[in-house]
Amino acid sequence: MCGILAVFGCVDNSHAKRSRIIELSRRLRHRGPDWSGLHCHKDCYLAHQRLAIIDPTSGDQPLYNEDKTVVVTVNGEIYNHKQLREKLKSHQFRTGSDCEVIAHLYEEYGDDFVDMLDGMFSFVLLDTRDKSFIAARDAIGITPLYMGWGLDGSVWFASEMKALSDDCERFISFPPGHIYSSKHGELRRWYNPPWFAEQIPTTPYDPLLLREAFEKAVVKRLMTDVPFGVLLSGGLDSSLVAAVASRHMAESEAACQWGSQLHTFCVGLKGSPDLKAAREVADYIGTRHHEFYFTVQEGIDALEEVIYHIETYDVTTVRASTPMFLMSRKIKSLGVKMVLSGEGSDEVFGGYLYFHKAPNKEEFHQETCRKIKALHLYDCLRANKSTSAWGVEARVPFLDKEFINIAMGIDPEWKMVRPDLGRIEKWILRNAFDDDQKPYLPKHILYRQKEQFSDGVGYSWIDGLKDHANQQVTDAMLSNASFVYPENTPTTKEGYYYRTIFEKFFPKNAARSTVPGGPSVACSTAKAVEWDATWSKNPDPSGRAALGVHDAAYAEAVDAKNVSVMNGPPQKLQDGVVGKIATVV
């Protein structure tokens, strides 16, 4: 990832303004520790902090067209840049950077080229000939982007809110799949795939087609000039990514430079379910596996920094981001700059446990559509910002445009959870990779039900967070919550605690409005809460609290005797975990 910041029409081209832009751009330096660049044209500024993944030696930004009249600052990866270069034969390229095609595509096609880009990206492009500019964000919002307006009439764009929140009167999360053009003065959606209308598709399920689409999505993402790895939690999604990557690694360019053995990474409290599951998968595939342990105290100590980086107070996101944030630091310290990750599968296939209760295929399908459209506020935001905090780039093959089209074109009847037919959640994905002759994964892993992220790192993680929040937030504070925080009022002490931290860093109204709210159970949208009458009474948003649909949850709940299935396993908090010493292995 990189960090971009652009300011247009600020009616000020003094040295003081330049210094200010440089200072603000430095707030994004964690995203791009390798180099920085600033292009200034009259009262327009394009700044860039670079993480060098492709062409480290010459791809510093901003990038230009031939005569330097078009300037572009990009955060992202364009996987089809070589094919696009082929199309632009008459153009001369200055660097080997994958992002340079953007300036040339603009020259060739004007504003209408964004859908030609295959990848994840946010960019701002300035046409110095008429001082017009465009800004765009990738289809799903894998890369973050914010847009703001200054009182002086300036328009701002930044990869993270922290770079523009102090200088803009108002700002918003830039909608994914959109383009802003200064000529039209408005946002327009460039991403118009068939599934977007939420009509119910009818294509029958073809396992091989799905498999091939996913393999292609992974292979594309092996494009790199630097060391990389895979985040492996041992669940289905990350295990498939690792299995496919490992299988195709030998043929990739990356392997020539960095060796053909895949590195995998897993994080957890000592003895956590994920660590065990990931180890098993890593052993099976034969990767170089790295385990990182953290303690509850270390996680709690990191919370402020996590919230500063991910810029949300959404409870599930904060819980899940913290281990990922800690792990990213360790990954980076090994010299690894890029990781593949499994985000998006649960949205595309309805993998969350609450999908068990979907009343029919229409509701099921629409919920998956809603979930995908909201990804940029949740898992994409988490995956991107938790890793970018340490200059690690996360790539998410499940959110490949082609793959989404295929997966979302399947008749949702096939995605429904049908215990009667032996179909657990994400059955079509599991079945697609169920190859008896050349197995991707052993059957018991392929069909394993796994913890949702925050639980997988160790049950005491969420318990420890709640306990810590209980110590910091009093009953009186919570009872006044609706007055203190009228918008997205926190309903739990944990939610309240995260909110106080968020407000400290981002006190503006506009900031809190960038974070989604509303009722949710186990990551569902507000709409899906209607699927079960009992759900609306349970404010805990974690996967564990939901539903009692996980087979293992049934077993545990039985052990815990009279604990209701709704509340999940008992809340046993261990004093020993919250030790004062933060040591890590």
Partner 1 sequence: MCGILAVLGCSDDSQAKRVRVLELSRRLKHRGPDWSGLYQQGDCYLSHQRLAIIDPASGDQPLFNEDKTIVVTVNGEIYNHEELRKGMPNHKFRTGSDCDVIAHLYEEHGENFVDMLDGMFSFVLLDTRDNSFIVARDAIGITSLYIGWGLDGSVWISSELKGINDDCEHFESFPPGHLFSSKQGGLHRWYNPPWFSEAIPSTPYDPIVLRRAFENAVIKRLMTDVPFGVLLSGGLDSSLVASIAARHLAGTEAAKQWGAQLHSFCVGLEGSPDLKAAKEVADYLGTVHHEFHFTVQDGIDAIEDVIYHIETYDVTTIRASTPMFLMSRKIKSLGVKMVISGEGSDEIFGGYLYFHKAPNKEEFHSETCRKIKALHQYDCLRANKSTSAWGLEARVPFLDKEFINVAMSIDPEWKMIKPEQGRIEKWVLRKAFDDEEHPYLPKHILYRQKEQFSDGVGYSWIDGLKAHAEQHVTDKMMLNASHIFPHNTPTTKEAYYYRMIFERFFPQNSARLSVPGGASVACSTAKAIEWDASWSNNLDPSGRAALGVHLSAYAKLPSVPNGNLATKIINNVQLMMETPASGLTIRS
Q: Rounded to an integer, what is the distance from CA 484 to the centroid of its chain?
A: 30
Segment near partner 1 (CB under 8 A); pick from 13-21, 452-460, 509-517, 537-545 = 13-21
Segment near partner 1 (CB under 8 A); pick from 60-68, 217-225, 309-317, 350-358 = 60-68
**Is residue 23 close enough to count as binding partner 1 by CB under 8 A?**
yes
Looking at the Cβ atoms of 390 and 531, the one nearer to partner 1 is: 390
Looking at the Cβ atoms of 339 and 369, the one nearer to partner 1 is: 339
10 is catalytic: no
Residue 210 beta carbon to partner 1: minimum distance, rounded to whole angstroms: 38
Contact code string over 390-409 relative to partner 1, x by CB under 8 A: x-------------------
Looking at the Cβ atoms of 247 and 279, the one nearer to partner 1 is: 279
* 112 known ligand binder: no
Distances (CA, A) of 392 to 3, 116, 227, 229, 310: 12, 26, 11, 11, 14
* 218 known ligand binder: no
Segment near partner 1 (CB under 8 A); pick from 19-27, 236-244, 261-269, 363-371 = 19-27
Give the HSE-up count for residue 132: Cα atoms under 13 Å, Cβ half-sphere. Answer: 14
The arrangement of strands across the sheet holding 288-293 comes to: 288-293, 263-268, 228-231, 338-340, 393-395
Cβ pair 487, 514 in contact under 8 A: no
Segment near partner 1 (CB under 8 A); pick from 52-60, 347-355, 375-383, 475-483 = 52-60
Q: Locate tokens 């010493």: which residue?
A: 581
Cβ pair 160, 502 in contact under 8 A: no
**Is residue 92 close enough to count as binding partner 1 by CB under 8 A?**
no
DSSP per-residue letters across 472-487? HS-HHHHHTHHHH--T
Segment near partner 1 (CB under 8 A); pick from 53-61, 80-88, 419-427, 518-526 = 53-61
* 122 known ligand binder: no
Q: Which of 11, 58, 169, 260 binds partner 1 (CB under 8 A)?
A: 58
CB burial string 27-59: b at 16+ within 10 A, e below: bbebbbbbebbbbeeebbbbbbbbbbbbebeeb
Taking each helix axis from N to C terminus, what angle separates 207-220 and 236-249, rounded to the nearest 10 degrees?
70
Looking at the Cβ atoms of 555 and 584, the one nearer to partner 1 is: 584
Residue 79 beta carbon to partner 1: minimum distance, rounded to whole angstroms: 22
- Residues with Cβ within 8 Å of residue 397, at least 6 apart in sequence: 214, 217, 218, 220, 221, 241, 244, 340, 403
Query: Which among 329, 278, 284 is positioned nearest to 305, based on CA atoms?
Result: 329
Residue 372 beta carbon to partner 1: minimum distance, rounded to whole angstroms: 34
Query: Which among 229, 287, 219 is positioned nearest to 253, based on CA atoms?
Result: 219
**Is residue 9 close enough to count as binding partner 1 by CB under 8 A?**
no
**Is residue 96 close enough to count as binding partner 1 by CB under 8 A?**
no
Segment near partner 1 (CB under 8 A); pick from 21-29, 169-177, 262-270, 488-496 = 21-29
**Is residue 15 close enough to count as binding partner 1 by CB under 8 A?**
yes
Distance CA 143, CA 175 (A): 11
Looking at the Cβ atoms of 31 and 373, the one nearer to partner 1 is: 31
DSSP per-residue letters across 258-312? H-SSPEEEEEESTT-HHHHHHHHHHHHHT-EEEEEE--HHHHHHHHHHHHHHH--
* 119 known ligand binder: no
**Is residue 57 close enough to count as binding partner 1 by CB under 8 A?**
yes
Q: Which of 35, 190, 414, 505 binds partner 1 (CB under 8 A)?
A: 35
Distance CA 337, CA 390 (A): 9
Residue 541 beta carbon to partner 1: minimum distance, rounded to whole angstroms: 24
Cβ pair 136, 157 in contact under 8 A: no
**Is residue 39 close enough to count as binding partner 1 by CB under 8 A?**
yes
User: Which residue of the set 2, 99, 266, 523 is catalytic?
Assistant: 2
Looking at the Cβ atoms of 62 and 76, the one nearer to partner 1 is: 62
Kind plus residue range of the DSSP H or E element containing 248: helix 236-249
Q: Which two tokens stand for residue 348?
A: 């595309």
Q: Which of 12, 206, 305, 413 binds partner 1 (CB under 8 A)?
A: 305
Looking at the Cβ atoms of 58 and 571, the one nearer to partner 1 is: 58
CB burial string 487-520: b at 16+ within 10 A, e below: ebebbbbbbbbbbbbbbeebebebbbebbbbebb
* 441 known ligand binder: no
Residues 436-475 that bind partner 1 (CB under 8 A): 471-472
Instruction: Tell me the torsion sign for CA atoms 541, 543, 544, 548.
Output: positive
Judged by DSSP in three states, 96 sits in coil
Residue 585 beta carbon to partner 1: minimum distance, rounded to whole angstroms: 7
Residues 311-350 that bind partner 1 (CB under 8 A): 329-330, 332-335
Which amino acids are annotated catalytic?
A: 2
Residue positions forming the annotated binding site: 98, 231, 267, 341-342
Which residue ranges make up the site for partner 1 (CB under 8 A)? 15, 18-19, 22-23, 26, 33-41, 52, 56-58, 60, 62, 68, 71, 128, 227, 301, 304-305, 329-330, 332-335, 390, 471-472, 580-585
